[in-house]
Amino acid sequence: MREWRKNNLEKARAIGRRHREKFPNEQREWYRNNRELAISLTKAWRKKNKEKVVLDAKRWAKENPEKYAESKARTIAKNPEKYRRLHAARQSRYRSNHPDRKARIDRARYARVRMAPGEYSESKWLQRVEYHGWKCFYCKVKLNKNTLTQDHAIPLIRGGSNHAANLLPACRSCNSKKKDLTVFEYLRRLAA
Ligand SMILES: [Zn+2]
């Protein structure tokens, strides 16, 4: 049967089409009654035809750029943490595979930082530190001029500014753990 189908693909498809026209709800009903099986069959098929699935998806994305952007945004919105992690991992992989590009990426990052809106004076910054009692905003460890680091509540790379209001005192360890998270995201992670 499979052999015949392979050799008479058009015919086989026409038979399938006619059958579906005759019994339009049959397939849907079968799916409804065999949900688990249907899902696992689909999964198995996709696994076996991985290349085709990827190619089809790529073609669809190219032909439907707006729909693709929408569906991507929806997927990311469902699990932003996961996609932030994936993006960071991809980025760091790219950087270690392209050492020559790293310098350029660093320069671009520096440019973004320099171009960020807002400016603060040293005294405004120290006022902020004073306000927070010379303590790390996150772990509350006591800081001094040598251990104090400047954290951007909303990182510049995420659209934050250089205004003093966006600056928080942090210890080196918390600052590096927070990386490019916003203060809200990082506090949520600490609370989890
Ligand atoms: Zn800390």
**Count of other CB atoms within 10 angstroms of residue 50:** 9
- For residues 104 and 180, give the distance between their C-alpha atoms in angstroms, rounded to a whole number: 19
Backbone angles phi, psi at 144, to 5 degrees: -135, 180
pLDDT for position 98: 80
Q: What is the pLDDT of residues 33-81, one digit of tens each?
A: 888 888 888 889 988 998 888 898 889 888 888 888 888 888 888 888 8
Q: pLDDT band at residue 113, thresholds of 50, 70 and 90?
A: low
Is the pLDDT score of 185 beyond 80?
Answer: yes
Cα 143 to ligand 1 centroid, rounded to whole Å: 9
Is the pLDDT score of 21 beyond 90?
Answer: no
Mean pLDDT of 155-183: 92
Beta bridge partners of 99: none
Residues 6+ apart with CB under 8 A from 181: 84, 155, 189
Q: pLDDT band at residue 93, thresholds of 50, 70 and 90?
A: confident
Cα 173 to ligand 1 centroid, rounded to whole Å: 6
Q: What percent of the chain has pLDDT over 90?
A: 28
Cβ neighbourhood burial of 186 (10 Å; 0-12, 13-18, 19+): buried
Radius of gyration of the chain (CA): 27
Cα 131 to ligand 1 centroid, rounded to whole Å: 16
**Is residue 136 classed as helix, strand or coil in its secondary structure?**
coil
Mean pLDDT of 154-166: 88
Q: What share of the chain is helix, strand, coil (3-state, %, to 5)?
A: 70, 5, 25
pLDDT for position 27: 77
Cα 175 to ligand 1 centroid, rounded to whole Å: 7
pLDDT for position 138: 96
Strand residues in the chain grouped as ranges (E): 149-152, 167-170
Beta bridge partners of 135: 142
pLDDT for position 94: 83
Mean pLDDT of 1-18: 83
Q: Where are the domains of the chain?
A: 2-62, 79-115, 122-191
Cα 148 to ligand 1 centroid, rounded to whole Å: 10
Is the pLDDT score of 17 beyond 90?
Answer: no
Tell which CATH architecture fits domain 122-191.
Orthogonal Bundle (1.10)
Kindly give the interhelix angle for 80-97 and 65-78, rounded to the nearest 10 degrees.
110
Handedness of CA 159, 162, 165, 168 (dihedral sign): positive
Mean pLDDT for all residues in the chain? 86
More confident site: 114 or 45:
45
- For residues 157 and 166, give the distance between their C-alpha atoms in angstroms, rounded to a whole number: 13
Q: What is the pLDDT of residues 119-139, one digit of tens each?
A: 778 889 999 999 999 999 999
pLDDT for position 107: 67
